[in-house]
Structure 1
Amino acid sequence: MALTYTFYQALAENALRNLAILCLGNRRDAGYVRRLGSRLAWLGASIIGTTLLLLWTAYGAQQGKVIVSLAPFMLVPFVTTAGILPVARLQFSQRWADLARFQLVAAFFGLVVSLSIVFTIQSSLAMALHVLTTEILFMLLCRYAARGVVIDVIRSTRNPKRETVGLSLVGVLGWSQSQLDRVFVGALGGAGTLGLYSTASTMGRSGGDALASAMSNHLRATVARLEDEEDRASAVRRHGFVALGAATVGLALVTVLVEFVLVPILGADWAAALHVVPLIAAATLPASVSWGLQMMAVANGRQWASATAGLVGVACCLPIGLLAIQSLQAAALMVVAREILVLAVCQVFGRVEGSRLPMLLAVGAAIAAASIFLFLPVSAPGTPVTP
């Protein structure tokens, strides 16, 4: 169910979120986003419903109650798409503190609901109602806050239909990349290697990827307010520097946590795996810049540049799986190399003004960080890594 829901988000919902803020200033384009959101809600419900039906066909006799308890997931797309334009209006008006507060409040109450179910009836309904409660509350708070936001009307020069296709393709390629990494590592390296790789990847990348997504959202909202090309280039350059700086701080924090907290606590058996975490985290340096450039390339009508970058990322999944057979360190190096390649493709083919210097700094920082982490002291060579 989680895979199905994240696939729907990558295919439809995230694309619509990226497009919405660029279409706010024109009623026709905003209307397109609203109508498409309604259709995508039914698409999402259909995809989730199909998954539930397949699960029931395969496992209904043994896991019928679990499957039925996940049915509220079918309502989630209707809630999230109803909140896309209000969220975009708040982003456009730079009300980031309000959005963060709304997310915190919604997540808290969603957690309360889910934990109550877990401790009382111990049902998988907790998972579905956690997401549904969180999204309903966040949507309602955003719709209420967005009522007073005024957007200046502009003449549209966009092609939202074409941009929707480009953004959907980029989203699906990104989702495929994250899933194929694990598919190839597990298929070629075995379940044990997959477990270690997934753990190291989650620890190393979760914070940096969340930061890259946030900075991309901020860049999108900033550029939507600007019409002058020089101002846009300046915004791209400034956001690239800020994103790279923040990713560097995050990398330093991850390194300190691993080297001085986790390795001493977990011992030598886990040392080799834990030392891969900062190396994987180094991939967030180029990713912090490339996420914004992919969005800008689509916004500038160069969807094929972002799609090409996504295809490069997917093509690197098999080499990562093959290298994982030899060592996690080799696979982690390939992860860093992939993000550098993706960033280079975005910059060269996307031709986003103001992106060259942030790209060069991000590539240099990633290479320097990877080189340093290669020589960090680890457990003795050949020491098996076992839980």
Structure 2
Amino acid sequence: MVDSTKYKDVITKYVRPLLNVKFYWYNRPEGDPEASGHYFVIEVPALAEVDRWAMVSRGITENGQFIRNSWTIPIRNGDTTAYLSADEVYRLVNDGLRSRRGPTVEPAPAADRAKAREDVRAAVGMRETPVLFFQSVPDHPHGLVSGMYANGGLRDILSNQDTLREVYAFNWASERNRPEPREGGLLLDDNPRRGLLIESDGAVTGAAAANADMLGWAMEPTMSGIEASRISVFVLTEITLEYFRLIDQHILPLVPGTWTHRIVASDFARSLARTLAAGDDPTFPYRGAPQPATSDSWNHSWQASGDPERDAYEALRHIYPLFGLDVSTNPFVDADRVLAQRLQA
């Protein structure tokens, strides 16, 4: 009952660039009495970065009717579809025209929002604590992000996060605190472990304390007055991956266009410098060869890929040299990705 040629013809006619779409048939799963027939699968290859995005030369109404003389640029986001805004399309067209008229001009990098880092640090009481900051900023902010406080919006997403492990693990969820409105955005205060600020334009700042409650968890003897200086490889990797699982999947799609991720280690080299060791956390916390941080203002950025495991790797690749280490020594990394299944194992 399925004519694959019809699908192929529609894609060939309306989608640019041309896509080499593949079709597959699968038998129904054995042992599933409720399944019947077969499965017809259309596999659409990922576009090369230079060709993003695909354009569909026909719009469609909610009733499934074509709109003549229209086009749209759909962006897949999990099991839903968003659409590139008219403002972003206009900017891309003008960028293309400018590139034809003269030499290529690199777009200005996203602003380094140092004030947001200090705001979060003060809000969660970490002024005297070394802090690892994660930041994500749209390169071309479009003003207020809609649905910040709506049902199913960002406030609900922060309150009901899909984490790798329970809420008391090393992630950005909080069972005791809810995100509170702050200047058109949201602040999730979970002192003394972490804090997360989403600004009104979608920019995000996360702060993880480099102390015994968070990054240094279980790395020092449990004695009163002892400050944790050694960073747990496991905690560092999990909190990093959880940040990008939250931001790449739920925040980036709200503001179309390129984003810049940034990682900042503040006060890591001050008295009682924070340390990190190659490999996994030792079975006995006093063993190993931890390396001290070499800067109090480590600040590096990269263009977001939108892939949490890939962006988590980039964050770790930028933080490990602070300790004179290579990211390949992290046991939860494979090639250019952080593997969630290794953390969970």
Higher relative contact order (CA 8 A, sep 6+): 1
Pick the structure with more strand per residue.
2
The two structures share one fold, judged by TM-score above 0.5: no
Q: Which of 1 and 2 has greater Rg? A: 2
Q: TM bucket by the smaller chain?
A: under 0.3
Task: Tell me the TM-score normalised to structure 2 length.
Answer: 0.22
Task: Tell me the TM-score normalised to structure 1 length.
Answer: 0.20
